[in-house]
Structure 1
Amino acid sequence: MHEVASQLSADLLGSGGLDRDSGLRPGAARQEVAQRFASVVADIASGAVQFPLPGSGGTSQRFAALRAVAQRDLCLARLVEGHVDATAILAELQEPSPGPTERWGVWAAEPPGEGVTATRTEAGWRLEGLKQYCSGAHSCSRALITATAEDGRRLFAVRTDGPGCEPVPGTWQAIGMAGSDSPDVRITDLPAVPVGGVEAYIRRPGFQHGGIGVAACWYGGALAVTEPLRSAAQRRPDPHTDAHLGAVDMQLHAAGALLDRAAAEIDQDPHDNSGSARLRSLRVRAFIEEVCSATLCHVSRATGAGPLCRDLRHARNVADLSVYIRQHHAEHNLAELGGLVARPENTR
């Protein structure tokens, strides 16, 4: 799974996340991550870096590539994951692939609020409203965006670098994941091209496969958070430090093995003929979220306040991971998982 990590060189991703000044200024963090995002997208277009499509036989390589980016910089991983997810969605719904200079996002969050509506006009579809959590709002040139039409929820492709699509100042105040640039975006009479039919975005098997790709990013973030604990154990033998490292290693090893198994199962059944994709996604995401939470706890208890106060990269890794794993919907997702497991056909 991890062979692809060498493709994502230190020269491309930087020597270790954001520089010292950028790490302290969210605006600068956003700009630096955007520059790296553009570089990664250019390398994807040239073939220097590869993210095989889910279910293509290279899903393990895809997850390893996402992990490698996330281990360097979770904010960058958030943008890269959106771009390669958009590529996979377009392929699955039989739409043209992104152009070589286009940077895509997937803006599909639908928390309570105004939302976005879609209207079919004589001139084509138009979107109107407010979309929340639009990662890469200032750096993406295209996006796939969900909106509610008269006949139900649909997915649309839009240009994000022109009129009708404006990030709302002050709506992304996050310290963790600051560089992911995920503010609200005001949509005004925005031309849109439908991608698939009603609910096609959610109903396709790739929706579940893509959710596991996000978990691969969380996993990479947890590996990064572990570094001060590993360094402490190497510098000074101590049974308590070793115990924390052992607990973290056990869980991270299991998480990596679970991602490998999930990748193999996706490649064996890319169209979800077995109907198991949702169950798999819920299990993998819940387990890796729990591993990430446990890793944050073990590392903090073992190393104390020192790395959080004196190591800017570690402090950002902790803050970023703490925010990113909240894409998992906690007990809501666990309740859904339990309901699926309770069905007789899933009892084993």
Structure 2
Amino acid sequence: MSNGLQRLGIDPLTRLPSAPSPVNPKGWTTLETVRALAADWDRCNSDETFPADRVAALHDAGALAGFVDVASPERTDALVDVLRAIGGADLSLGRVFEGHVNATQLISAYGDDTQRRALARNLEAGHVLGVWNTEPTPGLAIQPNATGRWTLDGSKSFATGAGHLDGILVTARDPAGGKQLVLVPIADEASRADLSVWQVRGMRGTCSGLFDFSDLSVGPEGIIGAPDVYEIEPRFSAGAWRFTAVQLGAIEALVRHLRDHLVQTGKRDDPIQRARFATCLTETRSAGVWVRRAAHLAETQALEAIPFVLMTRGIVEEAGLKTMEAAARSVGTASFFAGSRIDRITRDLSLYLRQPVPDQARDRASAAWLDDDCWGDDRWW
């Protein structure tokens, strides 16, 4: 399963310690191991199936269990850099990992002590989690039944990892109309996933299909928190910083591949090419500053994290669009061949940047800055 670790000379059967700072048999931290894995993965295009082997390698590296608590600045920085490294190698894997981290943090934040202990056991066993919110009409509902358990009715769409995850956090409408977080074991329910609807050019490895929950039963242990906790701010909106870090990693990888092309082909002596590359470099480095600051604001649950993260989404999007266009213009036809890393990154990133309501996100952020009268302090920066 963990071919990446084996290439690095690490026994994948050796269990690595988890949070706060896992260390593998080579004496590396989780971040160092993930970076080495990512460098290995970046040398070959992944196929378009669910990246199960790579997820297993992340578990062996301690990454699946290592970021439940990132309250300290050091742990926040480590998560930023792990997300960047994974995103630079495989955006589908980055999307799966980001969703897993989101799920573990939500369970830790809103679950009870018993649920948190169960989470720790599941992570030690290598379980992979996710969060699904998007749904087709009329949406997912949950009803109590005569056995003291709860029955689900409905589906989720754009369900990342459908048919491949062990457990999933979903939002379900309860009898009172509230939005209840429910943790559903789905390791044995792969037949409920419909991946035929996931007909896209990029991000195919996320397997983001339709999943039918009808008649599935969960017990009280699956009811996470009170109704409507999922949308408590600033966690709900500010948590978007994680996918910007994954996207940033892909943009940084694209800049590296563009740089290698310019050097290897002798185009580095062309002033037009250098000017184009300079734009990519400044856009990407600037986006990196925004992403890291957004992460620290979000993980400390600062209220000002919301507009900062919303604006960061737009900053990263612009960096990605400009870098993809520059790479296509500089490399030319060769960048569109199926075996090209530039082509793979561009296909995946073009889709991943289409997060919900990007224009509205930037508008909300801009309005917050226009309404704010505290420009005398440094809280925005």
Same topology, TM > 0.5: yes
**Residue among 222, 242, 258 paired with 2:290:** 258
Q: Is contact 1:54-1:88 (8 Å) kept?
A: no
Count of matched residue pairs: 331
State the 1:335 CA deviation.
2.7
Matches of 2:355 and 2:332, distance apart in 1: 27
Matches of 1:301 and 1:38, distance apart in 2: 37
CA displacement, residues 45-96 of structure 1 (integer Å, 9 cap, x when unaligned): 797xx43634333211111111111111111111111111111111111441
Note if 1:39 corresponds to 2:68. Answer: no
Task: Give the partner amino acid of 2:141.
Answer: T
Note if 1:120 corresponds to 2:151. Answer: no
State the 1:228 CA deviation.
3.2
Q: Helix, strand or coil: the match of 2:84?
A: helix
What residue in structure 1 maps to residue 349 of structure 2? 321
Q: Is contact 2:157-2:209 (8 Å) kept?
A: yes
Matches of 1:12 and 1:262, distance apart in 2: 24
What residue in structure 2 maps to residue 142 of structure 1? 167
Q: Helix, strand or coil: the match of 2:319?
A: helix
State the 1:346 CA deviation.
6.5
Note if 1:205 corresponds to 2:231. Answer: no
State the 1:282 CA deviation.
0.7
Note if 1:331 corresponds to 2:359. Answer: yes
- Larger RCO (alpha carbons 8 Å, 6+ apart): 1
Matches of 1:133 and 1:335, distance apart in 2: 25
Task: Give the partner amino acid of 2:185.
Answer: R
**Residue among 295, 307, 323 paired with 2:335:** 307
Q: Is contact 2:84-2:245 (8 Å) kept?
A: yes
What residue in structure 1 maps to residue 276 of structure 2? 244
Greater Cα shift, 69-78 or 185-194: 185-194
What residue in structure 2 maps to residue 172 of structure 1? 198
State the 1:7 CA deviation.
2.3
Note if 1:220 corresponds to 2:249. Answer: yes
Give % identity: 25
Let me know the Cα RMSD of the aligned residues. 2.5
State the 1:340 CA deviation.
2.7
Matches of 1:325 and 1:135, distance apart in 2: 15
Task: Give the partner amino acid of 1:86.
Answer: A
State the 1:9 CA deviation.
4.6
Q: Helix, strand or coil: the match of 1:138?
A: coil
Note if 1:271 corresponds to 2:301. Answer: yes
Go from structure 1 to structure 2 and tell me whether the alpha carbon gap of 1:114 and 1:313 turns closer, same or farther (over 3 Å shift): farther
What residue in structure 2 maps to residue 77 of structure 1? 94
Task: Give the partner amino acid of 2:368.
Answer: L
Note if 1:182 corresponds to 2:208. Answer: yes
State the 1:344 CA deviation.
4.4
Q: Decide which structure has the larger Cα Rg and report it.
A: 2
What residue in structure 1 maps to residue 7 of structure 2? none
Q: Helix, strand or coil: the match of 2:213?
A: strand
Greater Cα shift, 197-206 or 210-219: 197-206
Task: Give the partner amino acid of 2:103.
Answer: A
State the 1:15 CA deviation.
3.2
CA displacement, residues 306-347 of structure 1 (integer Å, 9 cap, x when unaligned): 122264332111111011111142212223223333424577
Q: Helix, strand or coil: the match of 2:142?
A: strand
Q: Is contact 1:154-1:199 (8 Å) kept?
A: yes
Task: Give the partner amino acid of 1:160.
Answer: I
State the 1:124 CA deviation.
1.8
State the 1:294 CA deviation.
1.6
Q: Is there any run of 5+ residues in structure 1 with no aligned partner, and where? A: none
**Residue among 113, 119, 129 paired with 2:154:** 129
Matches of 1:106 and 1:284, distance apart in 2: 22
CA displacement, residues 75-118 of structure 1 (integer Å, 9 cap, x when unaligned): 111111111111111111144125122110111224x5342112
Q: Is contact 1:176-1:323 (8 Å) kept?
A: yes
Q: Which runs of 4+ in 1 moved over 3 A?
A: 9-15, 263-267, 344-348
How is 1:5-44 mapped onto 2 (pairs within 5 angstroms)? 5-11=31-37, 14-16=40-42, 19=45, 23=47, 26=48, 29-30=49-50, 33-44=51-62
Note if 1:231 corresponds to 2:263. Answer: no
| Normalised TM-score (structure 2) | 0.79
Q: Is contact 1:66-1:81 (8 Å) kept?
A: yes
